[in-house]
Structure 1
């Protein structure tokens, strides 16, 4: 099992293009994410205190808005996970709607049950979990 770290510069450039396309098209993007449920999550940088925007897949499961810290199965969580753990207050854009949220990391039993539902609808996340030794975290975003 090889765990590779994604290149930060490449990720940032890729994310910036998705964010720009998302905002220019009312939350719609093309390419590999065409038709996917994407949101923009703005967190506060744990070290910098600066706003950080990340495009993420999201799921609505059992009435909950769920995001997944998969980082494509990398050996570490994405930076936004660290930011939410340090400061759970965040801002979300879905389509043309924008609102404040409070993130709640799901405890193990709840995470495991919901992860099965995520993996059933999006098998790629099960593949990411299989690639890494860390437990991929799930967060519920609750309106603030």
Structure 2
């Protein structure tokens, strides 16, 4: 086996990744939020439930994502299971950056933006501490993986 093949990270087939996230989201819904979300650990990520507005339909779209906390912000990556296109939730947030998330502590209103420059490098390094194979996984994509910051926003209606 060639060295390049040995170093390439193994990723499950796309159908399996999609099925796993659908099952995860289904468990969250069926248990009414009692199962499926967890807080990030010091050297690990947590999960959040993100609701966006579809850029074409105007309908709510939901997804579960991995994240870590950076002060009051929640940080995730627009990686689409390391597949080539950007995930639909990220395209939706680019069109309408205001969204809702549910974390283990409860619901929050957020405003999404992409990290750039030094901030992106700092947050990417933090992800690299959590996932040591991050750079080799990201290298599978032809474009840079967006680091997405979900900043808190204030509104009387959650």
Please report the TM-score for the alignment, with normalisation by the length of structure 2: 0.73
1:75 aligns with one of 75, 80, 84: 84
Please report the TM-score for the alignment, with normalisation by the length of structure 1: 0.79
Q: Which has the higher helix share?
A: 1
2:93 aligns with one of 84, 87, 91: 84
1:7-59 superposed Cα distances (whole Å, 9 cap, x missing partner)? 5x972x54332123234252546xxxxx8511011011111111010110001
2:24 aligns with one of 14, 18, 23: 18
Equivalent residues in 2 for 1:94-133, closer than 5 Å: 94-95=103-104, 97-133=106-142
Query: Structure 1 residues 36 and 140, CA, compared in 2 at 3 Å: closer, same or farther?
Result: closer
Query: Structure 1 residues 125 and 71, CA, compared in 2 at 3 Å: closer, same or farther?
Result: farther
Q: What displacement does 1:63 show? A: 4.8
Gaps of 5+ in 1: 30-34
Higher mean displacement: 44-53 or 57-66: 57-66
Q: Which has the larger radius of gyration?
A: 2
Aligned length: 136
1:49 aligns with one of 28, 50, 58: 58
Gaps of 5+ in 2: 38-43, 154-158
State the structure with bigger RCO (CA 8 A, min sep 6), 1 or 2. Answer: 1
2:122 aligned counterpart, secondary structure: helix
2:17–2:81 Cα contact (<8 Å) kept: no
Query: Structure 1 residues 96 and 19, CA, compared in 2 at 3 Å: closer, same or farther?
Result: farther
Query: Structure 1 residues 94 and 83, CA, compared in 2 at 3 Å: closer, same or farther?
Result: same
